[in-house]
Structure 1
């Protein structure tokens, strides 16, 4: 999407409304906001005494940890695919 097609959507995260402007579709923005909201509520249930700022930081740490794990898995799968493809191409030589 070009910068002239930026989407503006209001999402609810942890009971507060946030206007989000971005290049992604409204569905994508809502999905991301829902994940953040769910994670904040999950962490809040485990640590109800955290203030909102600390809760937001803990949420960011948890979500980035999930992201790093997924990225590592993706890299491992890409390496496996590359190894398989090399083996197949060597069989054809």
Structure 2
């Protein structure tokens, strides 16, 4: 194991897991809490589903959110590039007016 990776023991849905990664303990605590809360919400909404299917639904929700955030990030990057181009054009125009 690399020296920059840590081992973190998480309890999710009443079961213990060891997470190995390069994230901070605080980050992993937030991840643990978020997953546990999502699984509890899914359990309340879907009483008849077994834990494996609830976990798959949680994974589907997570990937869906990730894709949505990637799309938003791409849109923001595109807007940023347009704004940079506008600033560049304004600077060029101001230099030509002087």
Give the TM-score of the pair, scaled to structure 1. Answer: 0.91
Match of 1:34 in 2: 33
> Secondary structure of 2:17's partner?
strand
Aligned residues: 92
Match of 2:64 in 1: 65
Deviation at 1:65, TM superposition (A): 0.5
Match of 1:82 in 2: 81
Match of 1:49 in 2: 48
Structure 1 residue ranges (4+ consecutive) displaced by more than 4 angstroms after TM superposition = none
Structure 1's unaligned 5+ residue stretches are: none
Separation in structure 2 between the aligned mates of residue 18 and residue 43 of structure 1, nearest angstrom: 20
Separation in structure 1 between the aligned mates of residue 47 and residue 84 of structure 2, nearest angstrom: 50
Separation in structure 1 between the aligned mates of residue 48 and residue 18 of structure 2, nearest angstrom: 27
